[in-house]
Chains A and B, each alone.
Chain A
């Protein structure tokens, strides 16, 4: 009897294991395009080119096709950067790619300049004085990399910046940068600098090799300090919603007036189904009203051009029975889409402004 029981338990467990394993595999791979592809070029075009440019010259993401970058970035660094991304600094983490796929992408990146020898670094720690390193960092590096190495403002070479603009200083205090770059790689980059970027050599900065060791030691200590600042979870609810005390027409008028009071320019209003049904057959139960604050729009597009997908501001006015509801997307909620800490303040500001404006229109 006991044997039968054990056998049945094992059998059912195996069935459950197979079921959940299949479910988990499907879930993990469902949205990965061409999971079986090992063509590095194709993978780069599908996964990386939209930010780094089709030939790695940079765009929303930093340029990779620079001799000095390829000369100092090890394969291990590239591998870990692809795997871990840079929380809060646009670069996403690619955790569903296989090891072979990541290595194919790295080989493709290397193929741009095959004459450049791939560097290999020791994984040994560099010993320095982190207090002295902080002083040196604050005096010589923070003007570009900012305090605690949080990185320069904005994204990469975006469409709203001139193509020959300086490359934005990387976030070298970012925990995933520090998890990707070895001490010796960081030291090498500081010692030699990087041509075609504002990063000059230690010698030109007036730093000795020992000074550089101190800086490396200081940067390494930032891994834990900066960790707590990173979060990619959506904040709040996806929609800001207010019930109106007015009729639909009155509410639309109120929104128009309130928006102007908040320095928005009225663009247009339309039924939600305009363009989807024949003219004259639109439903009057759902309206969209468009507004824009162009100064703000220009500012956020300079930080991250991708944000334009949610702009200009659009209020949805919906009639549900006797009730009129006004809604809009919540910028604070959408902010985590972009993995860009530079946007957080703007998102919070817009959420507050949208909420205040809609509340004023509906009370």
Chain B
């Protein structure tokens, strides 16, 4: 019915031309490169003015508050000092949602090496630096084959940003 009323309004050639002009416009508009993301989006970083033990404790608390479980805290510095190298405190905190750790590897095996998620934490004198890879860095590689993963990467990215932000800057804007 709609087709008929459109055909009454416009001859078929006009409709084709209309459709073509719309498609060309949309294509040209989408081809304009969008503003490139900051490099900082590849890495999520934050600096806490608190010392390492306080920041580590705040980090674990915020990870749990965000609904994640911590699986292990890897002590990078212990191995280094054990081998005679000089280093400050350095840990990697691994965390994830149990249901995701159980289901994602079977569905998306190639994602498994990036699981569980992690945040590195290291001391710099009286301050502490937190750093994580933005899961969005992987989006381009994985979402072509699995577009549904985009939402997962977005959520992880937003959660990690929020965790690091709250640890370093509290709830301030």
Contacts and interface: CB of A to CB of B under 8 A. Distances in A.
Interface of A: 1, 4-5, 8-9, 12-13, 16-17, 20, 24, 27-28, 31-34, 37, 42, 45-47, 49-51, 53-54, 59-60, 85, 92-97, 159-160, 163, 232, 234, 237-239, 241, 265, 267, 270, 272-277, 283, 285-286, 290, 292, 294-295, 297-298, 301, 305-306, 308-312, 314, 316, 318, 320, 325, 327-329, 334, 336-339
20 contacts: A12-B18, A13-B21, A16-B25, A24-B32, A31-B37, A47-B40, A54-B49, A96-B35, A97-B38, A232-B39, A234-B141, A272-B105, A290-B74, A297-B80, A298-B83, A301-B90, A305-B129, A310-B133, A312-B76, A327-B113
Contacts of A159: 87-88, 90, 122-124, 129
B71 A275 contact: yes
B112 A17 contact: no
Interface of B: 9-11, 14, 17-18, 21-22, 25-26, 29-30, 32, 34-43, 45-47, 49, 69-72, 74, 76, 79-80, 82-83, 85-88, 90, 92, 94, 96, 98, 101-102, 105-106, 109-110, 112-116, 118-120, 122-125, 127, 129-134, 136-138, 141-142, 157-158, 161, 165, 168-169, 172-173
Nearest to A8: B18
B112 A94 contact: no
A273 B38 contact: no
A37 B83 contact: no
A338 B134 CA distance: 12
B112 A327 contact: yes
A298 B87 contact: yes
A267 B69 CA distance: 22
Enumerate the 9 nearest inter-chain pairs by beta-carbon distance, A residue then B residue, closest first.
A92-B39, A275-B71, A309-B120, A50-B45, A276-B98, A294-B83, A298-B85, A50-B47, A28-B35
Nearest to A52: B47
